[in-house]
Amino acid sequence: MSTSEDLTDTMRATRSGAYDIFIAPPQVVASALSHGYELIGSTDAEEEYVLVGRPHLNKPADVKAGRIYLPQQDSIYTYLARGMLTAHGLSFKDLRQVHYVREPQAGLTAVMMGLSEATVIRKRDWDGWVQDNPGKARALTQSGPVPGGFSVAVKKDLPAEQRARLSKWFGTAANCCGLKNVASHSGQAQYERVAQLGTFTPNALPGARVVTAAEVHKLVADGAVVIDTRTEKEFKAKRLPTARFVPYLEKSLKDVAYDAALDDFAG
């Protein structure tokens, strides 16, 4: 059993199949569901999140060139913040500063004190805070529903009997170990929505051309070199016949404005 607060490494572990079970925030389990795992459920009902800005801001686009306060780089708050900004034509690259600290509620204080132009908070937390602090901040936009609390996923290739026993235990007895019992609060569609925020391929990328599968087929036939940058386990499991294995260790934001200095290009 391993515990971690490094969600970037945890996301990588979902892609390599390093664990049989993941008990994690929804964006981690969303990744696992795309890589050979099945959903048991989540501990809490669905949540919605709000992009909150200073009182003089009217819409998400007004955050451009400003500062945003977010808890942890790969948290669900950050995933949804990126999604809400993207929906209104902004990238983290368009902001003056992206500030990561641990406490979500502190973002509201930062906005109220003028230390940040925006933050992201759960809607139920926002609803309570704004009643106590009228006029101190403004809701700029709201996310759709995403799974709440922790989610649980298990490997599909575990024996069916074992998966059934795990599902029963998480649903009826997990609270004996300090975890809420799991219920199927959310469907697959909610996890797919979260996954798209972390794996979205942009239509345009500075310095590169995004190609379709058909174009890849033609390029390979014409002699193009295919570089596979996934993990070794992924490469050995399934790959294009001519691909060369050159692993790339990702630590940067999953964004057009990624910081290459954070990543390992040793390959």
Look at residue 253 in the predicted model and tell me its pLDDT.
59
Q: Assign 74 a pLDDT band (cuts: 50, 70, 90).
A: confident
Look at residue 200 in the predicted model and tell me its pLDDT.
52
Average pLDDT over residues 63-84: 88
Angle between helices 188-199 and 76-86 (to 10 degrees): 70
Neighbours of 61 (CB within 10 A): 13
Domain ranges of the chain: 7-45+147-199, 49-142, 213-262
Q: Do domains 7-45+147-199 and 49-142 have the same CATH topology?
A: yes
Helix (H/G/I), strand (E/B), else coil: 73? coil
C-alpha closest to that of 68 among 123, 120, 121 = 120
> At a CB cut-off of 8 Å and minimum separation 6, what does 103 contact?
71
Rounded Cα gap, residues 84 and 87, in angstroms: 5
Average pLDDT over residues 78-104: 86
Average pLDDT over residues 159-177: 95
Q: Which fold has domain 7-45+147-199?
A: D-Maltodextrin-Binding Protein; domain 2 (3.40.190)
Confidence check: pLDDT of 89 > 90:
no
Confidence check: pLDDT of 40 > 60:
yes
Query: In this predicted model, what pLDDT tens digit does every residue of 95-120 receive, in sequence order?
Result: 999 988 878 889 999 999 999 999 99
Average pLDDT, rounded, for the chain:
88
Confidence check: pLDDT of 255 > 70:
no
Query: 264, exposed or middle or buried, with CB in 10 Å at 0-12, 13-18, 19+?
Result: exposed
Look at residue 263 in the predicted model and tell me its pLDDT.
82
Q: Assign 257 a pLDDT band (cuts: 50, 70, 90).
A: low
Look at residue 199 in the predicted model and tell me its pLDDT.
52
Look at residue 39 in the predicted model and tell me its pLDDT.
94
Confidence check: pLDDT of 155 > 80:
yes
Query: In this predicted model, what pLDDT tens digit does every residue of 206-228 receive, in sequence order?
Result: 678 888 899 999 999 999 999 99
Confidence check: pLDDT of 38 > 80:
yes
**H/E stretch holding 228:** strand 227-228
Query: In this predicted model, what pLDDT tens digit does every residue of 174-216 receive, in sequence order?
Result: 999 889 999 877 778 888 878 776 555 556 666 788 888 999 9
Average pLDDT over residues 152-181: 95
Rounded Cα gap, residues 239 and 157, in angstroms: 20
Q: Are the CB atoms for 50 and 84 separated by under 8 Å?
A: no
Rounded Cα gap, residues 148 and 135, in angstroms: 28
Look at residue 172 in the predicted model and tell me its pLDDT.
95
CATH architecture under which domain 49-142 falls:
3-Layer(aba) Sandwich (3.40)
Report the percentage of the chain scoring pLDDT > 70: 93
Model confidence, pTM: 0.72
Q: Are the CB atoms for 31 and 25 separated by under 8 Å?
A: no
